[in-house]
Amino acid sequence: MNGRAEEFNDHVYIRGRRLDLASLVSPRLFDPAYRSELRRQLRNASPFPHLVVDDWFDPTLLELIEEEFDPAARQHWRVIQDEHQHFHRSTTHEALGHASQIYFSLVNSGWFVALLGEIIDVDDLISDPTLAGGGLHETRTGGKFAVHRDFDKHGLYGLENMMVFITYLNKGWNPEWGAALELWRADPSECVRTIVPELGRSVLLLNGPNSFHGHPEPMQAPEDRPRRSVASYYYRNPRGVQERMSRQTSVFLKAYRAKRLRRIVTRITPPILLDAFKKIVGR
């Protein structure tokens, strides 16, 4: 993605602001030494495997995404509200703004999914372009999300939930407003790390039996400062290895017909004649 775009200086304009396609992501993502360091950090993270990274994406792109929350068709958004949680989320297949489409095209692209798979040491990671459970997330004043562990399987495909990747969109977030993402240890129950949801900060949370996180206290931000983020989930097929073992490659019609004819001839020809024919062909 940093090849032809760099050579031809490809770019797009969204609402009058220029986005250079070669600069949508940090060049660090293509550095093997940096990726190796990310794997080390993930393995050593507490209370469960996770990463916190800054500035992976062009800040102009993220600012444009944040702008797209307000004009979004809110009647199609889902309000998640009960005693444990209160936030808003775009629905699956929601019509997203142009900047949001660029972001989700990036994080669901083959090279980015391969990068995440390399970091978490999973070579068959699968993205979800439907953004089930992901998409645009917004918490308003008084909102919360109690400490929880994410769902284990995709609701439609039954794939195993491996991780969630979140990027925050809140420029100049005041920590006194609360709503920092908290990572908790299950036993003994305690918060081990807090992550301020600042613009350009991305969090990778590996899903597992002890992956408890949330922001349990009601948010105290001003009414005009909602907490906003974009999220994507990634999966794996637990039967993938068995399925690959029985995989059939392309079947070409001409070869298929010839093979079928050989089977028919073999079935109807006496063995003594077949042996004689093989000897003749061998000579």
The pTM for the full model equals 0.84
Q: What are the angstrom distances between the C-alpha of 224 and each of 90, 141, 170? A: 19, 9, 12
Domains and CATH numbers, the chain: 25-242 (2.60.120.620), 251-282 (no CATH)
Closest CA to 107 of 160, 62, 47: 62
SS3 246: coil
> pLDDT by residue (tens digit) across 153-167?
998 889 999 999 999
Contact 115, 121 (CB under 8 A): no
Mark out the alpha helices in the chain (DSSP H runs).
4-8, 32-44, 59-67, 98-107, 110-120, 240-245, 253-268, 271-282
Neighbours of 46 (CB within 10 A): 10
Task: Summarize pLDDT for 97-154 with one digit per residue, the tens.
Answer: 999 999 999 999 999 999 999 999 999 999 999 999 999 999 999 999 999 999 999 9
Mean pLDDT of the chain: 88
CB 120 within 8 A of CB 106: no
Question: Whole-angstrom Cα distance, residue 74 to residue 183?
Answer: 30
Asked if residue 233 lies in contact with residue 133, where contact means CB atoms within 8 angstroms, the answer is yes
* pLDDT at residue 4 tops 50: no
